[in-house]
Structure 1
Amino acid sequence: MKKQIYLSSAFAILFGLSVQAQEKDKPKDSNMNTEEVRVVKSYEATVIDAFKIKDTPQIGDEDNEKQVIKYSIYSFPVASTFAPEKGKAAKVDKDSLSSFFNNYALLGYGNFNTLQGQLGIAEKVSDDVYVAGFLNHISSQGGIAGVLVDDNYSKSNLDFNVGSRKTTNDWNLNFGVSQQNYNWYGLPTDVAIFAPAEYDGRDFGQKYNDVHFGFNYNSNKGAFDGGSLKFKHFWDAFDSRENHFLINPKFNFVLEQSIVNLDVKADYVNTQFEDELISGINTKSNSLIVGIEPNIRFIADDYSVQLGFGLANVSGESNGEKQDSFVVYPKVKANYDLVKDIVIAYAGAEGGVYNNTYANFVGENPFVSPDLRLLATKQNFNFYIGMKGKLYHNISYNIRASYMTEDNKAMFVNNPKVPSFDLLNSQVYQYGNSFGVTYDTVDTFNAYGELNLNFSDDVTIDLSGEYNSYSAKNGSVFNLPETKLTAKLKVDFTDQWFGGLDMYFVGQRNDMGYVNDGTGDLERKLVKVDSFADLNLNVGYKATDKWTIFAKGNNLFNQSYQSWSNYKVQGTQVLVGAMYKFNFKN
């Protein structure tokens, strides 16, 4: 499969649909132009979060009352096999003209036989109720130089939504299915020699499927704030199965000078891996987290403070190892206006506990082996302090430093290769071409900064960077880069022409791998995965109110870098296509 990172740009914002009329204000945080469709609720896609710009929580006057939230479709027009950031989806159309549409269809084609198609539908059933649907497909036939086995991939989603918005409450029910096809094509050919008989005729493919549904409810009055319920059934081509259930009701109580909030969470996951060819046994994991997070908030004209904590009980079993612990963590944060509406100082101490799931690991790295050890991760605390504000009316910034400690932090590590004489009796993910998960207690120091420049509504520049220093209790950290840099430029040349540029840099990472010991034998040891830079460019033309033509080039440096150990990426990718917008009703 090309790489797990590449799909995120096509799915950065998968789905948002609405029955409301669109506004003419353009989103200022996208890197292309968009036809914006306002929605009541949106489907949240799972995508790679390699280095998402951090949005520091701010407690302000807006916390006193429930706000009307508008969601938008940002249809991404290009099937990119590189997208290291879970960022804003690229715009595909301008919204500066007066004609707006609820529905759209999009089709694009590029080299490497890359195909992308999307269809988004939103219809109003009554004044308060809407229905919506979204179909998305992206695929590539591969063609990376030097790869011994198939490296094609595909990913398809189909989602349905029905919802209602009233003055006192709103709700949304969604249901969907998805399928992903990948190949474990990352054989360590730089150090190991594979005879054709060892891989010819073998199917190195993996297929992931899921069925999911969710329900969200928000109340605008009373103590019950709302909540969410989610369920996902996930399975693969190797008979792995996982059920994940999450319920999260919320309550708040308004006092004279403060607001008391109570969040309740029940998170249950049950996973079973079948590895009969190797061991003849099943690998089973289950974990239940039950927790509450009470807090009280004090809000004034120039400051706001939240004081709270979390209590959670973790119970379950992973491969016969019992999990049973009680966790206490802080939920404290505050901000202060140093200069009203210009400079804000903020700080906090937060923590939490969450389940690691097979589905989530696949979302980050689709080349994992179907025999993972699953444990809950505990974030004991995350202390942070920062400042954000404006240097000028059109220049904003955010700087932050943080220190975090996590128990059972999950990290991907390359799996060892079985001996050559046993390859044909092994699974296809045992060629040194898959990843397992290792856990450790990890301390992380993070320094982060971003700068946003808006020269006009038509030109924006976003710069961000971060540095991480890791310390693991039992050894090295794996696949966690120290440095990440991002630069984005968006330009609307005219009412019809628009474009954008993205550049990314990811620093070196540690992993386990093989080196030649000088005698011809392979020695397994800690290795470095090289840093890389990537440049992406897009351009679009709004031919009419209904038709938009676009093109995008990815990996314009044409580097054959590794997204993961041994997984080289496609070279320069170019995709062109068109989007058509329409309404069923006049």
Structure 2
Amino acid sequence: MTKYIIYIVFVLVGTNGFAQEDENIGTEVINVVKPYTPSVSDAFKVKEVPAVNDSTELTKKNVEYKIESVPVASTFTPAKGKAANVEKQAPKKLYNNYASLAVGNYLNVLGEFYATLPVNNTDNFTVGLNHHSTQGEIDGVQLDDKFYDTDLSLVYAKRDKGLSYQIEGGFKHQLYNWYGTSYELTDAQRADIDASHTYMTGLLGGHVEVDDSFFKGGDISYRRFWDDYNAAENNIVLMPEFEINVADKLVNIKGVLDYVGGEFDQSSAVLKYSYLKTGVQPSLELLRDDLTLNLGAQFVFGLDAENSESDFFIYPKVAASYRLLGDRVIAIGGLNGDLQQNSYYSFAQENKYIAPLIGVAPTDRQYEAYLGVKGKLSGKVNYTLKGAYGAEKNKYMFVMNAVNDVNVATENYQKANSFGVVYDDVSTFRTEFQLKAQVNKNYSIGLDVAYSSFNTDELDKVYNIPQLEASLFGDFKFNDKWFAGLNFFYIGERNARLQSNVVGLASKEITLKGFFDANVNVGYHVSNRFTAFIKANNVASQEYQRWLSYPTQQIQVLGGLQYKFDF
């Protein structure tokens, strides 16, 4: 081994000595890398068992088990089981038709009739008739105060797979009197006044629903409204609805075409009006866990054809709800607006003592923003609490027309007290609270309270609009025979204005007192077909005025009978 080492040293020294004399070639570093190749050592199993040296050696003892059977005498004999008897009840017979009639003091008459006639498995024809009338007899009233209100409706409906529709027709006859008077009349003056005013309404319309189509359906209607004082009005409404898919989202699109036009033809003046409202409202509903959001807007074009004026409106249509604590607390909010079409018909239904010569114009409900909470206090009690603030341009209000001397006035509605319409820009702050308790399937009760605060532009105050409104209602079924219902409501103070052209009767601002009205009904099922009932209105027998100079009947009690039947 030493021999080889010496030989290698000699070769290296000799090579360096002869190949490189005095020249310096520098230094280099050579790294030799060898890859690491791990290996697993062999495992060796211990093949020996250690010996245990113990002075005590335990041995297992064999245990033998023996079972001895001993017979036991028993006198128990199990009875054969059988199904429990369930008391069978015959299913209650339900009828598709009914007729009822009730008569009470003040010669009040209330009648209802409803009947459904099946044509085939998918088609049926429905007839409905409602009548309410009274002969008046209110204490202290100087003129005839009777009224008649009769409404007839006819509906043909078809329900089929993929397409459903109904066609509706109707006629309404209403007679009301301008019986309100602001000063004492002589017998001759009363005899010279015909206070009656008759309204008549004809209606034709239809509704259609379509499945599996982007066209979902819609409504169409034509209403003709006229009276016995040469006033007439036409109203045409078309409202289609579509649903289209945009980026995997369903977008709902509602359209509207609403035309109102009419004429008041009196000896003192002739007024014509014609308004067209057309618009489209797209909306999209978004669902995200506890959040429900409905985003939309309404684009409306309004045309005043009589004055050749038009305008374009954009209204928000946004609603949102978020579950803060499941169904117990749900936050709600929204922002809405609309162009409200007013009409002679809508005014006359709200105030039956209106004059047949008024100004009709739409109301621009610019916006109403609301925020609140709703939910369940328990499994049977629901509540809603919200506050809202809105602004309206051209909001209508009813005011009494100027009182004239009966001997000078020419028209009957000028001789007695009738109402007209005024408009103003009004902003409103409103708070509402609703509570409904469904105790069980036989008992339910609810409470509604609303308070409003108004701010006007030109007028000093709002007229005939209460600040406070409240109602309490309930339905009760005591057993299979007895049932009852109640409806209590309160209307707060309202501002009224008396304008007078009569000597000795001064014009003045008046505050009408708030009033409470309680209505109760009790019924008894005499049989499956016959039901007897009693209705009592204004149970507290309060003497109040809903409209200035128009007192109402005190306690009214009606008793009647309802009959159910099938053809």
Question: What interval of TM-score do these two structures reach, taking the shorter chain for normalisation?
Answer: 0.7 to 0.9
Q: Does the aligned pair in 2 maintain the 1:107–1:579 contact within 8 Å?
A: yes
Query: Post-superposition shift, 1:201?
Result: 4.0
Q: C-alpha separation between the residues in 2 aligned to 1:142 and 1:227?
A: 42
Partner of 1:242: 233
Of 325, 330, 353, the residue aligned with 1:339 is 325
Cα offset for 1:221? 1.9
Q: In 1, distance between residues paired with 2:278 and 2:499?
A: 42
In structure 2, runs of 5+ residues without a counterpart are: 1-89
Contact 2:404 2:500 in 1 (8 A): no
SS of residue matched to 1:391: strand
- Contact conserved, 1:97 with 1:545, CA < 8 A, in 2? no
Contact 1:226 1:251 in 2 (8 A): yes
Q: Pick from 120, 125, 134: which aligns with 2:119?
A: 125
Change in 2 beyond 3 A, CA 1:458/1:224: same
Conservation of the 8 A alpha-carbon contact between 1:259 and 1:298 = no
- How far apart in 1 are the matches of 2:292 and 2:401? 48
Matched, 1:469 2:457: no
Aligned partners of 2:381 and 2:522: how far apart in 1? Answer: 25
Q: Note closer, same or farther for the CA distance 1:514–1:407 as it changes in structure 2 (3 Å cut).
A: closer
Deviation at 1:479, TM superposition (A): 0.9
Cα shift at 1:501: 1.8
Whether 2:491 is the aligned partner of 1:506: answer yes
| Aligned ranges 1:6-155 → 2 under 5 Å | 98-155=92-149
In the alignment, which residue of structure 2 is the partner of 1:270? 261
2:519 corresponds to which residue?
536
Residue of structure 2 equivalent to 1:285? 273
Aligned length: 477
d(CA) in 2 for partners of 1:234, 1:255: 42
Report the Cα offset of residue 224 of structure 1: 0.6
Moved more, 96-105 or 382-391: 96-105
Partner secondary structure for residue 489 of structure 1: strand
Matched residues in 2 for 1:432 and 1:563: separation? Answer: 17
Is 2:205 the partner of 1:214?
yes
Measured in 2, the distance between the counterparts of 1:543 and 1:323 equals 63
Within the candidate set 326, 337, 358, 2:312 is matched to 326
Q: 1:411 is matched with which residue?
A: 397
- Given that 2:401 and 2:499 are in contact with CA atoms closer than 8 Å, whether structure 1 keeps it comes out as no
Q: Is the 8 A contact 1:209 1:236 kept in 2?
A: yes
SS of 1:495 mapped into structure 2: coil
Alpha-carbon distance in structure 1 between the residues aligned to 2:403 and 2:311: 35
- Alignment of 1:295 onto 2:280: no
Structure 1 CA distance for aligned equivalents of residues 211 and 430 of structure 2: 37
The two structures have a TM-score, normalised by structure 1, of: 0.79
SS state of the match for residue 408, structure 2?
helix
Match of 1:399 among 366, 385, 390: 385
Rounded Cα–Cα distance in structure 1 between residues aligned with 2:462 and 2:305 = 25
Give runs of aligned pairs for residues 140-179 of structure 1, distance below 5 A.
140-179=134-173
In the other structure, the counterpart of 2:419 is: 435
Q: State percent identity of aligned pairs.
A: 32
RMSD: 1.8
Secondary structure of the 2:346 match is helix
Asked whether 1:552 is paired with 2:535, we answer yes
Deviation (angstroms), 1:523? 2.5
* Equivalent in the alignment of 1:21: none
Distance 2:511 2:153 in 1: 40
- Kindly indicate whether the alpha-carbon contact (under 8 Å) linking 1:258 and 1:299 is maintained by their aligned counterparts in 2: no
Q: Counterpart amino acid of 1:526?
A: E
CA contact (8 A) 1:262 1:295 kept: yes
For normalisation by structure 2, the TM-score amounts to 0.81
Q: Provide the rounded CA distance (Å) in 1 between the counterparts of 2:485 and 2:130.
A: 23
Q: Aligned partners of 1:240 and 1:420: how far apart in 2?
A: 23
Deviation for aligned residue 1:317? 4.6
| Counterparts of 2:544 and 2:329, CA distance in 1 | 41
Q: What is the CA distance between 1:223 and its match in structure 2?
A: 0.8
In the other structure, the counterpart of 2:296 is: 308
The residue type paired with residue 412 of structure 1 is F
Give the Å deviation of 1:229.
0.4
1:526 deviates by: 2.2
More relative contact order in 1 or in 2 (CA 8 Å, sep 6+)? Answer: 1
Equivalent pair of 2:395/2:424 in contact (CA under 8 Å): yes
Which residue identity does 1:183 align to in structure 2? N
Q: Could you say if the C-alpha distance between residues 557 and 367 of structure 1 is closer, same or farther in structure 2, counting changes exceeding 3 Å?
A: same
Structure 1 residues 338-383: Cα deviation after superposition (integer angstroms, max 9, x where no partner):
1222221111001011211101111111100001101111111010
Q: Distance in 2 between matches of 1:109 and 1:271?
A: 38
CA distance in 2, matches of 1:195, 1:322: 48
Aligned counterparts of 1:134 and 1:421: Cα–Cα separation in 2 = 45
* Structure 1: gaps of 5 or more residues: 1-95
> What are the within-5 Å matches in structure 2 for residues 488-499 of structure 1?
488-499=473-484
- State the AA in 2 paired with 1:484: E
SS of the counterpart of 2:511?
strand
Task: Check whether the contact 1:376–1:408 (CA below 8 A) recurs between aligned residues.
Answer: yes
User: CA offsets per residue over residues 247-288 of structure 1, 9 Å max, x none?
Assistant: 011111245653211111111111111111xx2x42111111
Among 326, 335, 353, the alignment partner of 1:349 is 335
User: Given the superposition, is the C-alpha separation of residues 317 and 148 from structure 1 closer, same or farther in structure 2, using an over 3 Å criterion?
Assistant: farther
Q: Does 1:227 align with 2:218?
A: yes
Taking the aligned partners of 2:397 and 2:489, their CA distance within structure 1 comes to 22
Question: Is residue 522 from structure 1 mapped to residue 505 from structure 2 by the alignment?
Answer: yes
Aligned-residue offset at 1:337: 1.2
Alignment match, 2:428: 444
Which one-letter code corresponds to 1:470 in the other structure?
F
